[in-house]
Amino acid sequence: MKRIDELTAALGSIPCETNPRLVAQRSRDFYWYSPVLKRQLDGVTGDIVISPRSEAEVVDVLAACYRLDIPVTPRGGGTGNYGQAMPLSGGAVLDLRNMSRISGIEAGVVSADAGAIIHDIDRAAQAHSGQELRMHPSTARNATIGGFIAGGSGGVGSIRWGTLRDLGNVISARVVTMEASPRILALTGYDLHKVIHAYGTNGIITSLELPLTAAYDWIDTLVTHDSWLRLNQFADVLARQDGLLLKQLCTIEAPTPHRYFLKHQKYLAPGDHVIVAMVAHHAVSAFEALCRQERMKIAFRSDILPESEKRVLPPAYELAWNHTTLRAIRLDPSITYLQTLYPNPVHVEKIAAMSALFGEEVPGHAEYMRFEGRVSCDGMPLVRFSTEERLDEIVRIHEEHGCPVFNPHRYTLEEGGMKQTDEVQLAFKRMVDPKGLLNPGKMIAWDNPDYDFNAPGYYLFPGIKKDGSFRDEIPSLD
C-alpha cells in the first residue's frame, strides 16, 4: 500500500477515501444482476476512492497515478450491469460525482460535467426552457451523464432517437488522457466513437455537450393483451407511427408485469402481457384511436388518475429497460436476464419464436427502438437461472436463431458487445493510455490482441485482484 500512501500525499486537497469498507461500497456497480459476474467479481475492490471537483483535479489525479503506476477505474452512479465500474486490479476508483455542474443550456443543447445526475439535467433544462435530454436510462435518478455515455447504449427515448452511438446524439466530449502530462482532448463527430461505450478504458470523460429536445407532459400508459404475439405486432405498428410522439415503448411478457410490478398490480391481470409506453400529452387522442382501431385495451393511463393515486406510483420508465429485471430480482433473487437484439425486419417474429422456444424459463421483454432508420428491438428477457452452463446454452440458442446477444454475464467490452476488436477504441487507447492503467481488464484486445472470440468459454482477466467478499445491497424501489 506504499504507492497508495504516496498517491494520497500527491493528491493534496483533492477529496479521497481509503476506509476499506467505504472504498468497497463505492467499488461496485449493479454487476450482481448477473450470477456469473457476481461469482467472478464478488471480492473486487479498489484501494482508494478519489473524488475530483474539476477537470484540473482530474488531470492532477491521472498524472499522479501514471507516475505511480496505479490503475484508475472511473465511475458515476454505479448503475451499470456489466461491471463497467468494477476496479478489477484494485487501485483508484475515480468517482466523478463531485463534478456535477450543468454549465450551459440553450435551444437544443446542454453542457454538463460528467458527474451530473441525468435527472438533474432534465430538471434544469425543463425549468430553463421546457427542454430535456433525448434519452436516459431507467436509472436516470441515480445515473450520471458521463456513466451513461461511457457505459450505456440507449434507453428511454431510443424509440424516437436511436442509440447513443448514432451520430448527433452526443455533440462533443472533453476527455483527459492517462499520460505523464495528461492532455485534454475535445472530440466531436465520429471521433466520439473512440470513447462512447468504452467503459473509460481509454480516457476520462470530464464534460459533455448533448442535444436537447422538447420536454412534454409524458403520459404513462400500460396496454394489455392476452396474446404475446399480437401485443408485439401492435407494438410494432405503434413504433412505426412517425406522427405519434412516444418517448418509451416496450413489451413485457406475462407473468412478469402482474407478478413483479407491485404498485401497478391492481391495474393488471396475471395473464396480461403489457406494453409500457410514454405518450406525449398531445398524442393521446391519436394513441387512443390506434388502440381502439386495433382492439387493444389501455389498462392504465396516468393522465386520468387522481393525484393521490398517481403520487404513489413510480414513473413508467422505472418499469422498463433494466428496471423490469430489477423489480423481478427484488422479489425473486434467482432471476437474471439477457440482452439481445431482435433485428428488423424479423423482430416481432423472433420475439415470438424465442418465447415459444424457452417458455417460462425466459419470459420476454422487448424494447422497441429506432436503429439505422428503422424499428428494431433490444431484447431484455428475464432468465430463471439454473446453472452457468444452461445460461451459456440459452445465449448460444439465441445466437443460432439470429438474435445476437450482448452478454451481460461478461465484464469485457468485447464479450458484452460485438465479440470483436473495436479497432478505433484500441488505437485510441494505445495513444492516450500507453501504460494500460485505465479500467484494466475490460478491453481484451489490449491485453491479448490475438484472443479468439470464437473460442468456447470466456475471457478471464489475469490481473484480477480480490481483497475479500462484500455484500451487495439490492436498492429499494418505489
Does 98 bind its own copies (CB under 8 A)? Our answer is no
Stretch that binds its own copies, among 3-11, 106-114, 332-340, 466-474 (CB under 8 A): 106-114
Q: Can you tell me which of 266, 308, 372, 454 binds its own copies, judged by CB under 8 A?
A: 372
Does 185 bind its own copies (CB under 8 A)? Our answer is no
Stretch that binds its own copies, among 160-168, 219-227, 389-397, 467-475 (CB under 8 A): 160-168
Does 297 bind its own copies (CB under 8 A)? Our answer is no
Q: Can you tell me which of 12, 108, 270, 475 binds its own copies, judged by CB under 8 A?
A: 108
Contacts with its own copies by CB under 8 A: the residue count is 50
Three-class SS state of 184 = strand
Q: Output the CA torsion 424→428→431→436 (10° steps).
A: -110
Does 239 bind its own copies (CB under 8 A)? Our answer is yes
Return d(Cα 142, Cα 120) in angstroms, integer: 9
Does 166 bind its own copies (CB under 8 A)? Our answer is yes
Does 99 bind its own copies (CB under 8 A)? Our answer is no
Amino acid at 251: T
Backbone angles phi, psi at 391, to 5 degrees: -60, -45
Q: Can you tell me which of 153, 169, 325, 439 binds its own copies, judged by CB under 8 A?
A: 169
Q: In the chain, what is the greatest distance between 2 CA atoms, to the nearest angstrom?
A: 71
Q: Can you tell me which of 1, 104, 270, 292 binds its own copies, judged by CB under 8 A?
A: 292
Does 171 bind its own copies (CB under 8 A)? Our answer is yes
Does 392 bind its own copies (CB under 8 A)? Our answer is no
Q: Least Å distance between CB 190 and its own copies?
A: 5
Does 288 bind its own copies (CB under 8 A)? Our answer is yes
Q: Can you tell me which of 359, 373, 457, 462 binds its own copies, judged by CB under 8 A?
A: 373
Does 281 bind its own copies (CB under 8 A)? Our answer is yes
Distances (CA, A) of 234 to 224, 227, 273, 274, 476: 10, 11, 12, 11, 33
Question: Cβ closer to its own copies: 108 or 333?
Answer: 108
Does 375 bind its own copies (CB under 8 A)? Our answer is yes
Distances (CA, A) of 272 to 224, 275, 362: 6, 10, 16
Find out whether the peptide bond into 456 is cis, omega within 30 degrees of 0. no
Does 103 bind its own copies (CB under 8 A)? Our answer is no
Q: Can you tell me which of 12, 15, 104, 168 binds its own copies, judged by CB under 8 A?
A: 168
C-alpha grid cell, residue 68: 505511480
Return d(Cα 359, Cα 397) in angstroms, integer: 14
DSSP string, 88-131: TT-SEEEEGGG---EEEEETTEEEEETTSBHHHHHHHHHHHHSE
Q: Least Å distance between CB 166 and its own copies?
A: 4
Return d(Cα 2, Cα 5) in angstroms, integer: 5
Closest CA to 411 of 26, 91, 41, 28: 41
Which spans of this chain sit near its own copies (rule: CB under 8 A)?
107-109, 129-131, 134, 160-163, 166-169, 171-172, 188-190, 211, 213-214, 216-217, 239-245, 280-283, 285-290, 292-293, 370-375
